[in-house]
């Protein structure tokens, strides 16, 4: 479990980025952290992954404090982070070498099998020895996710992983998140793309460094005002479900893509 207690974080200029954050993330959960730019999402992601140090309060990952330097290698093996721009995480021209670099630095054995398994999970095994720089952005992002998976972590932090991707790249990452959920990984992903929140079991709404609301997916419909009050645009699928429910058509929120949603509506109409 990841536990955050009384977490505060200030930038060097004194600006408060996060204020009194208290949060528990259980094993196997998929949690989405949403909020406008500047709400503190990325800062919180880096703190959870142990890249930044809290101003006050603490974060524990399976009871390892993220500030405990003597256990930093143990922490790195438990939790990995993927950032917005995959090109910032790719260091070598060859996919295999890029993933192997981190594993070698951590003294991990069985490198080839780990890389092979990680690339299979991300659908990138055929690119194992390809030039990293010739890949599309979506493919590069899946390579960076593979780099994290090669460590066999329990927890994965995704910091707005689809922001720079085209529609095909986004769909590939969505499918991968669904797959990793089924495999039991604990996933924390930041987003300001509201359609993505349906991937999560629980949604954390951040505003100006404060948690203003925690929602389960099934509670979104009854808390639309919370999203609106925090300047979050309603996803198309949520708007559609609301309108259908008003018409007496019972359909619940799910991990739909737009195509899957329309297929479900078509199936129901056909059956009727």
The pLDDT tens digits for 153-208 are 999 999 999 999 998 999 899 999 999 999 999 999 998 777 788 899 999 999 99
pTM for the full model?
0.88
- Rg of the chain over Cα atoms, rounded to whole angstroms, equals 19
- Reported confidence tier of residue 225, pLDDT bands at 50, 70, 90: confident
Mean pLDDT throughout 7-33? 94
Which has more confidence, 112 or 221?
112
- How many residues are present in the chain? 272
**What pLDDT, on a 0 to 100 scale, did the predictor assign at position 272?**
64
Positions of CATH 3.40.50.300 in the chain: 2-234
Cβ-contact 192, 207 below 8 angstroms:
no
- Reported confidence tier of residue 27, pLDDT bands at 50, 70, 90: very high
Token match 């799910």: residue?
Answer: 254
CA-nearest of 170, 175, 212 to 191 is 170
Q: How do residues 124-154 score in pLDDT, each as one tens digit?
A: 999 999 999 899 999 999 999 999 999 999 9
**What pLDDT, on a 0 to 100 scale, did the predictor assign at position 34?**
92
- Reported confidence tier of residue 261, pLDDT bands at 50, 70, 90: confident
Which has more confidence, 253 or 36?
36
Residue 237 has pLDDT above 80, yes or no: no
Residue 39 has pLDDT above 80, yes or no: yes
- Reported confidence tier of residue 224, pLDDT bands at 50, 70, 90: confident
Residue 22 has pLDDT above 70, yes or no: yes
Q: Which CATH number fits domain 2-234: 3.40.50.300, 3.40.50.10190, 3.20.20.20, 3.40.50.2020?
A: 3.40.50.300
Mean pLDDT throughout 251-267? 75
- Reported confidence tier of residue 2, pLDDT bands at 50, 70, 90: very high
Q: Residue 8: beta bridge partners?
A: 56
What string of H, E and C letters represents the secondary structure of the chain? CEEEEEEEEECCCCCEEEEEEEEEECCCCEEEEECCCCCCHHHHHHHHCCCCCCCEEEEEECCEECCCHHHHHHHHHHEEEECCCHHHCCCCCEHHHHHHHHHHHCCCCCHHHHHHHHHHHCCCHHHCCCEHHHCCHHHHHHHHHHHHHCCCCCEEEEECCCCCCCHHHHHHHHHHHHHHHHCCCEEEEEECCHHHHHHCCEEEEEECCEEEEEEEHHHCHHHHHHHHHCCCCCCHHHHHHHHHHHCCCCCCCCCCCHHHHHHHHHHHHHHC
């Amino acid at each position: 479990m990841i536990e955050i207690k009384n977490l505060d974080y200030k930038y060097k200029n004194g600006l408060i980025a996060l204020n009194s954050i208290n949060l528990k993330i259980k094993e196997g959960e998929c949690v989405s952290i949403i909020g406008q730019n500047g709400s503190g999402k990325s800062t919180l992601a880096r703190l959870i992954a142990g890249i930044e140090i809290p101003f006050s309060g603490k974060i524990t990952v399976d009871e390892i404090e993220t500030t405990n330097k003597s256990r930093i290698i143990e922490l790195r093996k438990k939790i990995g982070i993927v950032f917005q721009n995959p090109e910032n995480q790719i260091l070598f021209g060859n996919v295999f070498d890029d993933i192997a670099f981190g594993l070698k630095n951590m003294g991990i054995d069985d490198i080839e099998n780990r890389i092979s398994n990680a690339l299979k999970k991300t659908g990138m095994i055929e690119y194992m020895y390809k030039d990293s720089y010739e890949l599309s952005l979506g493919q590069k992002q899946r390579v960076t996710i593979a780099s994290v998976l090669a460590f066999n972590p329990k927890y994965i932090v995704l910091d707005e992983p689809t922001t720079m991707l085209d529609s095909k790249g986004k769909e590939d990452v969505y499918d991968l998140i669904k797959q990793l959920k089924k495999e039991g990984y604990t996933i924390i992903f930041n987003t300001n793309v509201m359609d993505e929140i349906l991937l999560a079991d629980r949604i954390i709404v951040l505003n100006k460094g404060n948690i203003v609301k925690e929602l389960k997916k099934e509670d979104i419909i009854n808390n639309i005002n919370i999203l609106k009050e925090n300047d979050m645009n309603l996803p198309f699928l949520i708007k559609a479900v609301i309108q259908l429910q008003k018409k007496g058509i019972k359909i619940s929120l799910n991990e739909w893509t737009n195509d899957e949603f329309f297929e479900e509506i078509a199936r129901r109409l056909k059956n009727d």
